[in-house]
Amino acid sequence: MSYPYQIRSLEQYHNDYQRSVADPARFWSEIASYFTWKKYWHHVTDWNFSEPHIRWFEGATLNITENCIDRHLATKGNQPAIIWEPNDPNERHRVITYNSLYQKVCQFAHVLKNNGVQKGDRVCIYMGMIPELAIAVLACARIGAIHSVIFGGFSAQSIADRLYDANAEFIITCDGAYRGQKDIPLKSVIDDALIGNRTVKRVIVYTRTRTPVSMIKGRDVWWEDEIQHVVEQGYTDFPAEEMKAEDPLFILYTSGSTGKPKGVVHSCAGYMVYTNYTFINVFQYQPGDIHFCTADIGWITGHSYIVYGPLSAGGTTLLFEGVPTWPDAGRFWDIVDKYKVNILYTAPTAIRSLMGFGDAPLQGKDLSSLKVLGTVGEPINEEAWHWYNENIGKGKCPIVDTWWQTETGGILISNLAGVTPAKPAHATYPLPGVQPILVDENGNEIEGNSVSGNLCIKAPWPSIIRTTYGDHERCRTNYFATYDQLYFTGDGAQRDADGMYRITGRVDDVLNVSGHRIGTAEVENAINMHAGVVESAVVGYPHDIKGQGIYAYVIYNGHHVGDEELTRRDILQTVTRIIGPIAKPDKIQFVSGLPKTRSGKIMRRILRKIAENELGSLGDTSTLLDPAVVDDIVKGKL
Ligand code: WT7
């Protein structure tokens, strides 16, 4: 059986798109009627962007886990919900059927309850890519607790900031995580994050690497022991908490142009409906397909297209613990071959990196099961697109270039695999319910085709950000205040002669490094923490594999203990401590001054040009406080 709201032709796409814009309430209520609700809504949607105040399916109650698990049990109980491929290809893989997922989620929901977790509590999850991470997420949702998953590459300091911001009382973690050759001591990072913390009452630790950990009496408990108690208590089911449509489902922190990450809040009903709808339509998922999304559940892509989208569709989702290049650069292709993967969804960075290894890793790998390929997270260059198309898809798999953001919850602009046309390096057309527009600096709409501008969205779709945790005003100023009555994405885009969108990248001070979002201000703050650093300015520059690299200009007046190179390493160490290894600059140039206007504003445009090696187009530097610093910087360029 296929999905009643799956778009199967170009004509149907146009038709559904028109209907979705003409009468969004009717369009979305029809789709929502296929889900399991405890109570139906009295209002499909109610919104204004000025506050912003955004509501979908108000009056309805539900639990997303009933939609992701319970409703599939009768027909798909013995089908695989999650297939897990471990980091080490020699370790046994695991298959978790819907029946077994139900049992595990219910058991762990009891564990949460036994440990005092209640509806609305914030639970921080810091784990590697193992099935228990998905189980922890779903158990939170079942009990109505708000999960906040933190990617394993963030430092103790970053975790501490997020725990504080969310006022989190519970943590779920592992002793350690395997990633390629590395063994990351997660619990020990959590212990560092908890120094001085006064809110966290309980840490639940799953055993993965059996690395030595310090279990603090009264605070830390083992996952396995807690499950054992539940088994002894004889519990098998856990009634799903009745959640209001607009109750928060989760918080996910993401970087912006300020120094502090914001907690993006998504709510239960709208997020569920939209991730399910986009999963089924963009990837053209068919029951039984094996969907392999290579993202980490610590990012929105993993939330929406490893966990909630596929499971709400009763699909089979493949969860991979390791990295694409270990034990060798053929790992993804081994996995595709081993499980007969049908849909592969990955980042341009991974594609470019694997492309660099040539054909050898592909030798002898049967990729014939693949039907659909996808990319996400950053613009894909044409060369990588063609390589992906020819070498992985063998010219027969449509590639979906999916544009979206943490704040959008699900895919907003993308072709629908094999149904709507693809164009290399173009996200193409909006999904039904999504109304993109391009505006100029003053917020005036740029009409017609073959134009470019700042990308905004006119009206809400069900999984749009509801608020930034603990600070609604921040949500308003960040996304809804730049242009009146529009959601501003922070991206620039072109609309080609056919009306297809091509996302060109951020127009704010946010970098996209290997598909990871990093705020320049955050990196600067971290660099400035280093003793001896007076000031710094961080910009992005084109990087062959990562998409963007991080270039830091640093004024340093301390004395170099050793030489400059050692100071550079100290600075990298500082950034690793404050944010995490993902934010480490690729280049650090020591400078005597930064180009500033008379009012003291750093002219990043000039620094960007220098980092990009576009020295011929530095523009007018005469308005600078001290134009001579530019020459110095150019001379010392790395
Ligand atoms: C930013 C959002 C959405 C999941 C992963 C990233 C960039 C995302 C594309 C694409 C060009 C893209 C944008 C966006 N981006 N997808 N297909 N083509 N750029 O989520 O961390 O919230 O980052 O990633 O710049 O604003 P995120």
> Which ligand 1 atom sits closest to the C-alpha of 255?
21
Write the pLDDT tens digit of every residue in 134-167: 999 999 999 999 999 999 999 999 999 999 999 9
The yes-or-no verdict on residue 360 having pLDDT over 90 is: yes
pLDDT score, position 336: 98
Q: What is d(CA 13, CA 16) in angstroms, rounded to the nearest whole number? A: 5
pLDDT at 313: 98
Nearest CA to ligand 1 atom 19: 378
Identify the DSSP state of 445: B
For ligand 1, say whether the CB of 491 is within 6 Å of any of its atoms. yes
| Model confidence pLDDT, tens digit, residues 366-398 | 999 999 999 999 999 999 999 999 999 999 999
112 φ, ψ (degrees, to nearest 5)? -60, -45
- Please check whether residue 201 is in contact with residue 116, taking contact to mean a CB–CB distance below 8 angstroms: yes
Helix (H, G, I), strand (E, B), or coil: what is residue 602? strand
Question: DSSP letters of 607-621?
Answer: HHHHHTT-GGG----
Question: Is the model's pLDDT at 503 over the cut of 70?
Answer: yes
What's the whole-number average pLDDT of the chain?
97
pLDDT value at 1 more than 70? no
- Pair of tokens at residue 611: 């980092």
Q: Is 76 in the pocket of ligand 1 (CB under 6 A)?
A: no
> Mean pLDDT across the stretch 289-308?
98
pLDDT at residue 506 is higher than 80: yes
Query: What would the mean pLDDT of 300-325 be, rounded to a whole number?
Result: 98
Mean pLDDT of 504-525: 94
619 by Cβ neighbours in 10 Å (0-12 / 13-18 / 19+) ranks as: exposed
pLDDT the model gives residue 626: 86
Cα–Cα distances (Å) from 554 to 529, 564, 597, 627, in that order, read 12, 12, 18, 17
Place of tokens 């059996």: 210
- Residue located via tokens 């970053």: 158
Return the percentage of the chain with pLDDT > 90, whole number: 95
Per residue in 71-95, pLDDT (tens digit) is 999 999 999 999 999 999 999 999 9
pLDDT digits (tens, 9 = 90+) for 552-583: 999 999 888 999 999 999 999 999 999 999 99
Residues 6 or more apart from 349 whose CB is under 8 A from it?
Answer: 377, 378, 514, 515, 545, 546, 547
Domain residue ranges of the chain, discontinuous segments joined by +: 10-451, 510-635
What's the distance, Cα to Cα, between the start and end of the chain in Å? 58
- Tell me, using a 6 A CB cutoff, whether residue 512 lines ligand 1: yes
Q: Write the Ramachandran bin of 409: left for phi over 0, alpha for psi from -120 to 50, otherwise beta.
A: left
Q: Are 238 and 109 in contact (CB under 8 A)?
A: yes
Is 464:409 a contact under the CB 8 Å cutoff?
A: yes
170 near 204, Cβ under 8 Å?
yes
C-alpha 409 – ligand 1 centre gap (Å) = 11
Pair of tokens at residue 534 = 């007076």
Mutate which of 308, 423, 464, 503 for ligand 1? The one with the most ligand atoms within 8 Å of its CB, which is 503
- pLDDT for position 454: 98
Q: Which of 265, 273, 270, 269 is nearest to 300 (CA)?
A: 265
Which residue CA neighbors atom 1 of ligand 1 most closely?
405
Query: How remote is the CA of residue 505 from the centroid of ligand 1, in Å?
Result: 8
Task: Report how far ligand 1's centroid is from the alpha carbon of 421 (Å).
Answer: 21
Tell me the β-bridge partners of 423: 426
- In short, whether 490's Cβ falls inside 6 Å of ligand 1 is yes
**Cβ atoms of 496 and 450 closer than 8 Å:** yes
CATH of domain 10-451: 3.40.50.12780
Ligand 1 nearest atom to the CA of residue 301, by list position: 4
Is 301's C-beta closer than 6 angstroms to any atom of ligand 1?
A: yes
Is CATH 3.40.50.720 what the domain over 510-635 is classified as, yes or no?
A: no
The size of the chain, in residues, is 638
Distance between CA 38 and CA 137 in Å, rounded?
21
What pLDDT score was predicted for residue 107? 98
With cut-offs at 50, 70 and 90, classify the pLDDT of residue 37.
very high
Strand partners, 533: 556
Q: pLDDT band for position 621 (50/70/90)?
A: confident
Using only C-alpha atoms, what is the Rg of the chain?
Answer: 24
Token pair recorded at residue 573: 């160490």
pTM above 0.95, yes or no: yes
Lookup: tokens for 453:
């501008």
Amino acid identity, position 575: V
For ligand 1, the distance from its centroid to the CA atom of residue 517, given in whole angstroms, is 8
User: What is the C-alpha separation between 44 and 489, in angstroms, rounded?
Assistant: 24
494 C-beta neighbours (distance < 10 Å), count = 17
Structure tokens at 265: 């809040």
Averaged pLDDT, 606-617? 91
- Look at ligand 1, atom 11, and give the residue with the nearest C-alpha: 379
Rounded to the nearest whole angstrom, what is the distance from the C-alpha of residue 405 to the centroid of ligand 1?
Answer: 5
Ligand 1, atom 17, residue with closest C-alpha: 403
What's residue 624's pLDDT?
86
- Mean pLDDT, to the nearest integer, of 457-471? 98
Beta-carbon contacts of residue 76 (< 8 Å; ≥ 6 apart): 98, 314
